[in-house]
């Protein structure tokens, strides 16, 4: 069995320098600061810090060397084998014909030493939290392994005919159909910032009302006069918006310019390969037939400006346990909504969305339960608060101000829910044709989910006695995909639609 490349040890020890400092300061924080939070004179403690760093770094070094000594991989005639672990040893065996996803990852430390991490996944939901096989090799060897495993996955075993698969670039940053330009990346960033600022402003408005009620009830003099109070409240809200927007701006800039650097989608035989990244390069490979759904998403700001993102739902497709990647299902991070059909027609022609053929049949059910529950609870709470204040002879102006302020806060929450319900009423619907189902769902965030009939495993009808009498129901469609995300919901449709979808299960 071949061991991993020694570059694993060198790159790990380089990154462990940072981890050692972090661990050292966590355990020796009391030596840095006094009980009052002031920084101590650390010169007398320098020898302690040096000894602690050496001990912690030595532990990391010992672990890396033992991991290298006990880990390795082997390609046999029909399967790939992998050993890894120190205290808990893991021996994994995966047949070539059961390979589902092949992913290559390179961090900045890996690139310094010319190595890469290759993970091979079977797509089993029992091991969805991690890949079965992990290999650490030179980047050039990993590239060869990716090509070889893609060929072996098709053939099921080593054969003389295991040649390189035909390659065609479907989309890239230089492609006329999809070009993730700097202008588009900046717009992507600004839309995310605007979305965050909107919700911060909403929370800030509610906070101003709540704090205003507290000022009335407790007569908080340190908040100043009412004019000063509103000025401070508005300034704090604006400050929170600017601060959060700044962090979102930095995060989105790094995500769009660094993470999606040289974004490209390539097809090799029956395999789709998505590659991107500057500091950490990702190359994710999976079979076309493992795709179970395509999801087109639009936030409220994206909808206003006509943009969207396209994500994939691929069965069992996850990052390795050492490096979780929340964006592993991203197909196209940002594009015009009008381009979605054209992009999918070229990359995934079986998953091009159809126009919605049914619509929600009533608006009221989208908000009825919320109005009933929230309205009852908030009404009782307001009545109880006013009653208690009257019992304790609180002055009428304060009682009136508290009642009006609380009612205003309740009205804002209900107004947001009514708007969400209206958007959901306009969005929800379904289309079915040619063995393909397109589901439109969401509220503030619009979602278009496309999947094939062969991946539909169950149809669930959710209704109430009143809705049943009116002939309407919400539908939950269960797909053959990851256990944590195997439901697609479409609300307030005609109940007869359930029977139509159940017929598709029998086909």
CA dihedral 410, 412, 417, 420 (to 10 degrees): 180
Check residue 437 and give its pLDDT: 94
* 319 pLDDT tier (thresholds 50, 70, 90): very low
User: 331 vs 41, 232, 327, CA distance in Å?
Assistant: 52, 44, 9
Q: How far apart are CA 435 and CA 454, in angstroms?
A: 8
> For residue 436, with 0-12 CB atoms within 10 Å meaning exposed, 13-18 middle and 19 or more buried, which class applies?
middle
Percent of the chain clearing pLDDT 90 (strictly above)? 21
Cα atoms found within 13 Å of the Cα of residue 245, Cβ hemisphere only: 16
Identify the residue whose tokens are 């029956």: 270
Q: What is the model's pLDDT at position 36?
A: 63
The answer to whether residues 273 and 102 touch, using CB atoms and an 8 Å cutoff, is no
Task: Give the up-direction half-sphere exposure of residue 430: CA atoms within 13 A in the CB hemisphere.
Answer: 22
State the pLDDT confidence band at 157, using cuts at 50, 70 and 90: low
pLDDT beyond 50 at 297: yes
pLDDT band at 325 (very low <50, low <70, confident <90, very high): very low
The average pLDDT across 141-158 equals 79
User: What angle is formed at CA 69 by the lines to CA 67 and CA 71, rounded to 5 degrees?
Assistant: 65
pLDDT band at 310 (very low <50, low <70, confident <90, very high): very high
Higher pLDDT, 238 or 167: 238
Could you tell me the pLDDT band of residue 408, with boundaries at 50, 70 and 90? confident
User: What are the residue ranges of helices labelled H in 355-442?
Assistant: 365-391, 396-427
Beta strands in 201-280 (DSSP E): 264-268, 271-276
The fold of 353-360+428-507 is PH-domain like (2.30.29)
Residue 204 has pLDDT above 60, yes or no: yes
Residue whose token pair is 């479907």 = 170
Identify the band that residue 327 occupies on the pLDDT scale cut at 50, 70 and 90: very low
User: How deeply is 291 buried, as exposed, middle or buried, from its count of CB atoms within 10 A (0-12, 13-18, 19+)?
Assistant: buried
Average pLDDT over residues 390-411: 81
Q: Give the pLDDT confidence score for residue 334 in this predicted structure.
A: 84
C-alpha 303/C-alpha 429 separation (Å) is 17
Write out the two tokens for 216.
């009335």
Residue spans of the domains in the chain: they are 1-70, 72-172+260-348, 182-256, 353-360+428-507, 366-415
Task: Report how far apart the first and last C-alpha atoms of the chain are (Å, whole number).
Answer: 48
């Amino acid at each position: 069995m071949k061991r991993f490349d020694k570059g694993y040890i060198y790159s790990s020890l380089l990154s462990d320098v940072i981890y050692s400092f972090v661990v050292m300061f966590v355990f020796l924080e009391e030596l840095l600061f006094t009980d009052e939070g002031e920084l101590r004179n650390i010169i007398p403690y320098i020898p302690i810090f040096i000894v602690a760093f050496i001990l912690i770094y030595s532990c990391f070094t010992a672990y890396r060397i033992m991991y290298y000594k006990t880990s390795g991989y082997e390609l046999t005639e029909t399967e790939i084998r992998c050993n890894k672990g120190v205290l808990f040893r893991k021996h994994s065996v995966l047949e070539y014909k059961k390979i589902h996803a092949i992913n290559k990852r390179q961090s900045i430390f890996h690139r310094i030493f010319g190595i890469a991490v290759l993970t091979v996944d079977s797509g089993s939901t029992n091991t969805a939290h991690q890949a079965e096989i992990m290999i650490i090799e030179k980047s050039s060897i990993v590239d060869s392994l990716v090509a070889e495993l893609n060929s072996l996955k098709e053939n099921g075993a080593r054969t003389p005919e295991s040649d390189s698969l035909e390659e065609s670039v479907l989309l890239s940053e230089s492609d006329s159909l999809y070009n993730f330009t700097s202008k588009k990346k900046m717009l992507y960033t600004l839309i995310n910032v605007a979305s965050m600022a909107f919700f911060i402003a909403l929370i800030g408005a509610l906070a101003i009302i709540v704090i205003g009620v507290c000022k009335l009830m407790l007569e908080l003099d340190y908040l100043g006069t009412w004019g000063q109070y509103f000025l401070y409240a508005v300034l704090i809200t604006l400050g929170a918006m600017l601060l959060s927007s700044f962090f979102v701006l930095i995060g989105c800039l790094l995500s769009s310019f660094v993470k999606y650097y040289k974004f490209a989608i390539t097809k090799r035989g029956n395999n789709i390969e998505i590659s991107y990244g500057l500091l950490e390069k990702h190359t994710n490979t999976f079979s076309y037939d493992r795709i179970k759904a395509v999801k087109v998403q639009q936030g409220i700001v994206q909808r206003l400006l006509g943009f969207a993102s396209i994500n994939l739902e691929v069965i069992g497709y996850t990052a390795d346990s050492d490096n979780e990647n929340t964006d592993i299902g991203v197909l196209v991070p940002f594009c015009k909504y009008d381009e979605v059909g054209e992009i999918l027609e070229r990359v995934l022609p079986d998953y091009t969305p159809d126009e919605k053929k049914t619509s929600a049949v009533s608006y009221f059910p989208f908000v009825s339960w919320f109005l009933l529950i929230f309205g009852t609870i908030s009404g009782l709470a307001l009545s109880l608060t006013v009653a208690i204040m009257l019992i304790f002879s609180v002055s009428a102006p304060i009682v009136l101000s508290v009642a009006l302020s609380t009612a205003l806060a309740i009205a804002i929450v209900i107004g947001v829910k009514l708007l969400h319900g209206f958007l959901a009423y306009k969005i929800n619907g379904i289309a079915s044709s040619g063995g393909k189902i397109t589901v439109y769902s969401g509220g503030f965030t619009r979602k278009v989910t496309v999947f094939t009939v062969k991946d539909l495993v169950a149809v669930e009808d959710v209704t109430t006695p009143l809705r049943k009498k009116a002939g309407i129901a919400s539908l939950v469609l269960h797909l053959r995909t990851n256990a944590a995300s195997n439901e697609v919901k479409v609300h307030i449709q005609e109940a007869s639609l359930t029977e139509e979808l159940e017929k598709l299960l029998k086909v």
